[in-house]
Amino acid sequence: MAVVTMRELLESGVHFGHQTRRWNPKMKRFIFTERNGIYIIDLLQSLSYIDRAYEFVKETVAHGGTVMFVGTKKQAQEAIAEQATRVGMPYVNQRWLGGMLTNFSTVYKRLQRLKELEQIDFEDVAASGLTKKELLVLSREKAKLEKTLGGIREMSKVPSAVWIVDTKKEHIAVGEARKLNIPVVAILDTNCDPDEVDYKIPGNDDAIRSVTLLTRVIADAVAEGLMSRSGVNTGDKGEKAVAEPLAEWERDLLEGEKKADDAEAPAAEAAAEAPAETEAPAEAEAEVAAEAPVAEAPAADAEQA
């Protein structure tokens, strides 16, 4: 079953690039045409690149790896948080702090600090042994840490790969990942540099629907990898269980094939029964022929007498 269909990509506007004056010449090979001053991305290439990225993410997670979801622009914040939470992966959707990957030891200390603050009951002033002002200061510190580090709260080491929406905006994250040789999976709009990304997906990184669709695809790959890791069978039955409703034209095509199969089945049964009916009279004639000599035997004896 296809990871995503061409219809879904078109409906989500994945094919819309940037204005022709805002482009990176390195993206020329991924551009299909230009229309009304906007570049149109070749979705046939996007489909093949999506399959590659999907397989890579699935295998990475199946072998015990983690994928960090990164997208701090407004169009991506909700999708990043929702999909990463769905599959239990770390995410950054508010602000990328410099050194989140390259200086993770310091970031990890801040995560420990966040967990300490979460143990404090800010409502019970008497039991805390702190003044209201001290509790207020700690409460603000906790809120700040939750906003910036809440998505990576359970992360204990650098991720095995990163999924990035808009490599130009998240250039610091891309740089840190490349410095640590962490594979980068990202959406490539027509203004991005494809050389910075290991597993590229040519597409629109500005539209909410496009970002949501592609992030969901990567999250689905993570989910499949997690199932493989836990030994759950992901055969055809599983695919049918999680399959999305078919489009109307796909449904019509499927029903047409089923009707053709149903029409062929009775014809095949009739053809199979026909030889059996023709064989029955032949067997009866053979039995009569075998009995005939037995009946004539007494007559021959009478003539001899």
Please report the pLDDT score of residue 255 as a whole number.
59
Angle at 78 between CA 74 and CA 80, to 5 degrees: 100
CA distance 144 to 78: 19
CA distance 96 to 220: 24
Whether residue 300 sits in one domain with residue 263: yes
CATH value at residue 52? 3.40.50.10490
Residue where the block lists tokens 């960090």: 68
Indicate the residue among 226, 242, 258 that finishes a domain: 242
Q: 18: closest CA among 210, 152, 195, 171?
A: 210
Q: Tokens at residue 175, please? A: 């740089």
Name every residue whose Cβ is closer than 8 Å to that of residue 111 and which is 6 or more positions away in sequence. 149, 152, 153, 155
5-11, Cβ contacts within 8 angstroms, sequence gap of 24 or more:
5/247, 6/43, 6/44, 6/47, 7/247, 8/213, 9/43, 9/46, 9/47, 9/203, 9/213, 10/43, 11/209
Please count the structural domains in the chain.
2
Terminal Cα distance for the chain, rounded? 87
* Digitized pLDDT (tens) for each residue of the chain, 305 residues in all: 578 888 999 998 898 888 888 888 888 888 888 888 889 999 999 999 999 999 999 999 999 999 999 999 999 999 999 999 999 999 999 999 989 999 999 999 999 999 888 888 777 766 677 788 888 899 899 999 999 898 998 898 999 999 999 999 999 999 999 999 999 999 999 989 899 999 999 999 899 999 999 999 999 999 999 998 887 544 443 333 333 444 454 455 455 555 555 655 555 555 555 544 444 444 444 444 444 444 344 444 434 43
Please report the pLDDT score of residue 176 as a whole number.
95
φ/ψ of 201, rounded to 5, equals: -130, 100
Please report the pLDDT score of residue 239 as a whole number.
38
Q: Which domain holds residue 254?
A: 245-305
Whether residue 170 sits in one domain with residue 80: yes
